[in-house]
Copies of this chain bind each other. A is one copy, B any other.
Amino acid sequence: MSSLNELEDMEKLRGLSWMVALSQGLGITMVILMGVWLNTYMGGFAWDGSGKEFNLHPLCMICGMVFLYGEAALVYRVFRQTEKLKAKIIHASLLLLAFIAIVVGLVAVFQFHHKMHITNMYSLHSWFGMITVLLFCLQFLLGFLSFLLPGARPSIRSFYLPLHQFFGGGILTLAVISVISGINEKLFFKYKGTGYSKLPASAVIANVCGLVTIGFVLTILYIIQKKEWQRKPASAEEEESLAIHFQPISGHGTDTE
């Protein structure tokens, strides 16, 4: 690459660096606000079927479905020079961590409902949340089968890639809808009557956490939709080396690397 091209690229990517820094600031603030809200104002955490177990639900969901999911979405923008296969593994690993957080978060709320004899799955928040999680699992599975597991035909990959990218942003959008409606719902549960409308510190922190969440998500969506920040498609040699990597696993190759 000529040094002129390199300079142009550096110029272009300076904006990306700032936006990534902003997203990280918002993401960490979002998780801290949620943690402080639940720990200081909502009774803290425990694994005993009480409201303290419920508190793990919003924390795990925002960590998994929003923060780790958003980080996973940034992998191909941030690890630009990293070998494609390694970037794919980082992307999938972050999503696996997200999946674990989501499972813990769902078990926490269902166990709490079970112990407290509260009906499951009636509110719009719960419907949206469950659809979001199911779409996340489907996207994770299809992404794994199409892009990480060897054997998927290039025609399938190139057909599925734009759908995977669109639903990547779509599922993050659904996740933030679930988070905001969930925080709103919890505050109405906690402050029955007019308590919420007096905006005690707890309600302000939770509301601000909701605003920071949408800030984080919009930053992520902005970064991933911007064409000039997208990672260049893998070169023919890199795709070839990926294929060689995979061949022994799929059993179609003879290379033993």
Contact = CB atoms under 8 A, between A and B. Distances in A.
Contacts of A119: 194, 197-198
Interface stretch (A41-49, A103-111, A180-188, A232-240): A180-188
Contacts of A225: 166, 225
A211 B127 contact: yes
A124 B166 contact: no
Main secondary structure of the interface of A (DSSP, over half): helix
A184 B221 contact: no
Contact of A174 (B125, B162, B214): B214
B181 A184 contact: yes
B214 A166 contact: no
A218 interface: yes
Contacts of A197: 118-119, 122-123
Contact of A127 (B125, B127, B189, B210): B210
7 nearest A-B residue pairs (beta carbon): A119-B197, A124-B184, A181-B181, A122-B197, A124-B210, A181-B184, A124-B207
